[in-house]
Each structure stands twice: as structure tokens, then as C-alpha cells.
Structure 1
Amino acid sequence: MKVTGDQALVKKINKSIILHMIRKHSPLSRARVSEMTGLNKATVSNLVAELCQQELVIEAGPGESSGGRKPLILHFNAMAGSVIGIELRVKQLTAVLCDLGGNVLGERDYTLNHHDLPYVLEEIHKIISELMASAPVTPYGIVGIGVGVPGMVDENGVVLFAPNLGWEMVNLRGMLESSFSVPVTIDNEANAGAQGELNFGAARDVRHLLYVSAGSGIGSGIIIGGELYKGARGYAGETGHMSIEADGRLCSCGSRGCWELYASEKTYDNADIDLPARTTPELVRYASQGQEDALRHFAKVGEYLGIGITNLINSFNPEVIVIGGALSEAEEWLGEPLRKVVAERTLPYHKQQLEITFSKLGSRGTVIGAGFSAVMHFLGNIRVTL
């Protein structure tokens, strides 16, 4: 198929390239932008002038010069607007207000008592309204809302199936856009977490990444060739529901022996723990005090995490694996048993130059990634595929 574009499209693409180059690598001079993009200086100068007029880029200076007039330095204007990123968990609703550079300006955290849609929607409305009221005055105001949910989401922002919430066919994007009149992006929470780590966390600019979100369930965000992989219909990454025990426990998805039954916070309900602890922060506190039940439980969860991660390594051959979600806060006790299992079971060539790390964003990875998706929607991340 022949792909063509008129002059206006070419200009739009070039403008997007320049904006994202400045966003990722500023401070930069115009000359340096020209070198890095391959665009001629006149094109860069004209498009930068438009971006400055739109208040997406600001000039500060002067920069260093080897002779002659010192150049003005270009910066991405992160405070041109703000976004809200939300993570919907089984027992918790977390949201952040971020600028366009991913810097957290405000945060809210609610406990969810049940999963009835009207109740959860009411809580989401509350948390969004609070953050909107606290947002600083910016040229563009609140430019978008991004939401990460523990389930399968289609390209229209419909939650097709979220077994841990008991949801099917919920048009979450439509409901929120109707209420707040700003663009809303909805994605699987692990995909959002992968975007957070790729752009702001432990895997910046990695080409082949697996992000494993371990919390109330398990999901994976898969980055292949620097792009988020969603599969043929957009549902890739439901790794928490791969079977690791052939005749294992019955899962809410309808299958048996699913990974998340053995390596997520679901284990707390069935664990042999002689403690009044049923959340990760509580168990972390007991583990930090040397309590044997907590230490033994985290060691077992770490082993099961290692089993599933081994399967993913042998399947995808990534450069980096990042473990995020609520259980990333237990790195001190999960890390060693996890890495031991991977070392013993992974194919030898797959282990070469492989890095396994825990999220540098902690439990914030998904909310920051969800906010980033809203930023990209606002900035118009144009891509042309031939």
C-alpha cells in the first residue's frame, strides 16, 4: 500500500519529533535539535518558534558557545498543563496529579470497601475532583486523565473483563469523559506501569522490557523494540493467569493454578501466618522486625514469582525485567529467592546480560504511567508506520 502525506502532515510530524526530542533531552540548543533530528536549521527554528508560542517550549539562556553569540537554550515546559493518573486496585484507589514531565504535584489514596460499579465510580469522581481542585494554574489546565485497571481493556476504553473486580463490559472511558469533559485514556494497569518505568523509572529507553506488576493480582506490560506490545486484539500481558500448577487452586478467571494465586497478595488470605496482617505494608513491617511467619511467607512468594518470571524470560528474552506493584515494597525479602529460582531454571543464553530489578517508582509506577499516557494523548505522539 502506498503511503503519502501532504505538506501539513509532514509539518505536523516534524513538529512532534522536535517537541519530543526537547521533552526527553532538554536543555538543548536549536543547533543541537537540528543535529539530533536530522532536520535543517530553518525548519527547526520555525517549528520551535511555534512551540514557544504555544507555551510547550520555553527559552532560557544563554548556553555555552565556542565562539560568537551564545545560543538560547530550549526547555520543555512541563508546567504548560497537568494530568491525573489513577490506579484502580482491588482494595485501593490511588491517584496523582502530575505536570507534563511526570513530576508528582499531589497524591490521594482511598480504600475500596467493595467493587460495585456505582460505588467505585463515586470514589473515582471524588478523587479526581479533589486533585482538580488542587491543580495549579497553567496555560492548558488539566489536559487529561489516565486510568490503569486490573483487567482487559479494548481500544475504546471499555473494561472487557476484570475478574478481580467482577466487572465485564464497563465503558469506563465514556463515563469519565462525560463527567469531566477532558480526554481519558484507559489501559491495563501493568501496561501503564511499563510506561512509567520506561519513561521515568528503572528502564529508561530500554528496547525489550517486561514489567511485572505484582499486587492484588499479577499482570505484565511487554515492551518489544521500544513499543508497548498489546497482541492481536489488545489483550496481551495477562500473565497472572498462566497456569503454573496443573491441578492447582480454582481462580476467579475460571481456570486453575494461575500464577497470581501463588505469587500475589491473594496468598495472604490462604497463608499460614500467625499474625493479624493481611496487607503488604503490614507484612513488610513484621518482616522488618524479623518475624518468622512474614519472612517465610515472602520467601515462598519470591520463589513463585521466580517460577513465573522464568517462563517469561524463556518466552520473550528481554533485556530488563522490572518488578513493580505493591509487592515491590518487599524487595528486601523477595529478591533473593526470586533470583535464585531464575538462576536455576532459566535457559543459559537467556540469562546473558539480563537485568532483574525492582521498580524505582515503587507503588507509584502505574499511576505515573497512566498519567504519562494522558500526556502523550495531549501532546499528539504522532507515529507513521510504512
Structure 2
Amino acid sequence: MTLRGTNQESGRPYNRRIVLEAIRLDGPTTRGTVAERVGLTVQTVSTIVRELEEHGLILSVREKPRGRGIPPSLLTINPEGGHAVGIHLTPLGIEAALVNLRGDVVETRQCHAVNTTPDEAFALIGEMVNDLRASPRPGRMLGAGLALPGPFDVESMSFVGSTTMIGWKNVDIRQRLADATGLPAFMENDMAAAALGEELYGLGQQVSDYFYLFFSVGLGGAMMHEGAVLRGGWGNAGEIGHIPAVPDGEPCPCGNRGCLERYVSLDAFKRRGLSEADWVRDIAPIFRNAIRTIENLFDPETIVLGGLAPQSLIERLATLAEGLDPSISARADRPYPRLVVASDCQHSALRGAAALAVFGVLSPRYGQMFETSERGTDE
């Protein structure tokens, strides 16, 4: 992500968020390094750092002297400076997590609720969030992020079939989430949310271009490029679950036949009733073709495999990379394997959903921090 501050006086709240994001990405770091990265003076950055420290969002630690002079203090995000709630809604149930600014999952709550209606779901979400807020650990609550299956706003695919949420069409999900939680509310499809979580807290710290393959009740993905999800014209890019995999194959609720997620998904795994080892061996050719298709379309540095599946199943699928046929990604100078397991499979969508709220409240793109207290000032 490109982070550049502004010299306009009215841009001071924006500069605060820019500096905070730079510290989150690069910390431990110095005021001088932050100033160089965001294009502000060291004096301006120092003033902002002082304010961020007063809000408890960052920590400043001075190293022990190693020679002459006093070493500069190093700046890092304060993990306990705030918490967000990440919520993942699937056809199988609801899970919610309290996540700190470092991305650590502090507490979780689960509710088994199959194909829940919107009224039932938001009532349960309200109870779960209230329970998490009653914990002695939250401190400042930044917001709530909700991840749920996509695609969105596609007549034949949205909220249709066993791999998505039936009966959720035309629901104002963001407003219902805000009403249920009393917090700033954000939402995203679960594959993009999981990719954002990996970007903020996992492999995204080292890799600029990767595809996050989200293995859940259905199958989807998101291409990350320099810290951002590539969304497409209507925000649904990466829905590879509906690429054709088997000519004249199984009928799909989307209206087509032979879609990939009819064969490679948790729903497909449960319908077949095979052991993990037998099922993975059975779908190996289809899965490998899907990997090569992703590589040839997006040219990622690697494909990250994560999602709701048991860790053992994710890892079995990852071993199929050993038999991949050539693609544009089959090159000798690769720094990473063609397929890797996500940094935190079981919490990927939860951490990503919480990251939506953290990113939404604190980041330069969507930031809301300080706005209430400064409304009407010249800052």
C-alpha cells in the first residue's frame, strides 16, 4: 500500500491514520523512517506519534545504548490499544472472535445454527458480541466486521444453494450488524476477508502478489496485489468455485453444470462420504487443474490455501502441489512454493473480519478514528 501524507492543515486526521498504518506495517520503526515513508517532516510525525501514544494505540521503546549517543526510540503498535470483533457467518453456523490490534485471537464464541434466517442470525450475533464485550480484556472496542459467503448482487448465484446463505437477498447487512452490536460495522465476502487477514497478519508481510484460495462450504478466492484485493467490476473477482471443471458434470445451483465447487469444497467432501485421504486422491486432478488455472490467470508469487476445513484436510490438499503440471508459475527462481498453507487456517476469516473493522476505523482508506472529537476544529 502506498502511504503518503498531506501538508494541508485540514488533513491532520488523515496524517494520523497514515502514520499509524506505517507503524503497523513497519514496526518496530523510528520516527525518521516513518517520516521518509509517508512524506512528512520528522517534526510533524513526532507530534502525531505523541498523540497516538496518548490514545494508547502505539508504544515507544528505547533500546539500550550500544555506543556513543542515545539510540532513537522504536515505535510499534500497542496490541492492547484496541480490539475488534470478527464474525464469520456460514450455512453451518456463526463464529465470533475478539481480536487485538496485533491480530491475536483473544477469545472466541461459536453457535451451531444451520441456514439461519437474518433475524435469528443477528439476534445471535448481538448475544455473542455482548458476551465478548463483557470480557475484562477488550478495552476500547473499535468495531465489528462480518464475513459471509459471496458472491453478492448476482441474480443466479447470490444467496442461492447449499454453499451460501439462503434467504438473505435484499437484507441491509451492514445496518443490521451495526444495530445488533452497537459498533461501527463492516462487511465483506469471506474469501476477501480471509485474504485481508493473511495480508495484515501473515504471508502478506513478505509477498506482494498472491492468491488466497478459500476452502469453505463452497470454494472461492481473492487475488492480493500490494496490500489490496483485486475486486473486478462488481466486487466479485475470484469466484473460482463457478469456473467449469467437469464438462456436463453435476448441476450447480447457479444454473450451470460441472462447477468446480461441486467437486472441491466442504460441501462436496461431505456429500461424497469418503475419508480425507480417499477424497483428496479422488479430486486430485480437478484440484491441480484449478491451481494451474489460477496461476495462468493471475501469475501469483504463491497460492495460499486456507479456510474452514479441518487443518488435516487443508494440509492433505496442499500436498497435491507436488504433482502440479507446468504453468507460468513453474519457474526455477521462485522464492516460495507454488502452494502454501495459510498462517492461521481455522481463524482466517475471523481475523480477516476483525481486520475489516481495524482497517476501517484506523486506516487511511476508511479511517474514522479521532473524527468525532475533532469535528468542528481546524485539525
Give me the TM-score of the superposition, normalised by structure 1.
Answer: 0.83
One-letter amino acid of the structure 2 residue matched with residue 188 of structure 1:
N
Other structure's SS at 1:360 match: coil
Equivalent pairs, count? 350
Higher relative contact order (CA 8 A, sep 6+): 2
- CA offset at residue 256 of structure 1? 1.5
Q: Please tell me the root mean square deviation across aligned C-alpha atoms, in Å.
A: 2.4
Partner of 1:28: 29
- The Cα offsets for residues 68-88 of structure 1, whole Å up to 9 and x where unpaired, read as 234333232221211000111
In the alignment, which residue of structure 2 is the partner of 1:82? 83
- The aligned counterpart of 2:40 is 39
CA shift, 1:177, in A, is 0.8
CA contact (8 A) 1:214 1:328 kept: no
Instruction: Give the distance between the partners of 1:18 and 1:153, measured in 2 at CA.
Output: 33
Structure with the higher fraction of residues in helix conformation:
1
Aligned to 2:329: 350
Aligned equivalents of 2:190 and 2:84: distance in 1? 17
C-alpha distance in 1 between matches for 2:37 and 2:279? 50
What does residue range 1-386 of structure 1 map to in structure 2 within 5 Å?
A: 7-64=8-65, 66-134=67-135, 136=137, 138=139, 141-153=140-152, 161-163=158-160, 164-166=164-166, 167-271=168-272, 273=274, 293-327=275-309, 329=311, 330-340=313-323, 343-344=324-325, 346-347=326-327, 349-352=328-331, 353=334, 355-382=338-365
The TM-score normalised by the length of structure 2 is: 0.84
Deviations 1:40-59 (A, max 9, x none): 32222122122223322232
**Deviation larger for 189-198 or 68-77:** 68-77
Deviations 1:291-334 (A, max 9, x none): xx442112223432222222111111111100111236113422
- 360 and 188 in structure 1: CA distance in 2 versus 1, 3 angstrom threshold: same
Contact 1:94/1:109, CA 8 A, preserved across alignment: yes
Q: Is the 8 A contact 2:102 2:201 kept in 1?
A: no
Distance in 1, matches of 2:284 and 2:159, equals: 25
Residue deviations 1:95-139 (CA, integer Å, cap 9, x gap): 21011221111011221233322222232222222212225252x
Contact 1:97 1:135 in 2 (8 A): no
The offset of 1:62, in angstroms, is 4.5
Once the two structures are overlaid, the 10-residue window that deviates more, 40-49 or 67-76, is 67-76
SS of aligned partner of 2:143: strand
What displacement does 1:262 show? 0.3
What CA distance in whole angstroms lies between the structure 1 residues aligned with 2:234 and 2:143?
25
- Over 3 Å counting, the alpha-carbon distance change for 1:13 and 1:142 in structure 2 is closer
Output one character per residue of 1:126-163: Cα deviation in whole Å (capped at 9) or x when no partner.
2222212225252xx21100111011347xxxxx9222
Q: Which runs of 4+ in 1 moved over 6 A?
A: none
Shift of 1:13: 3.9
In structure 1, how many angstroms separate the alpha carbons of the residues matched to 2:100 and 2:137? 9
TM-aligned CA deviation for residue 176 of structure 1: 1.5
Question: Structure 2: how far apart are the matches of 1:232 and 1:29?
Answer: 39
Unaligned runs of 5+ in 1: 155-159, 274-292
2:373 is matched with none
Distance change >3 Å, CA 297–CA 363, structure 1 → 2? same
- Unpaired runs of 5+ residues, structure 2, are 1-5, 367-379
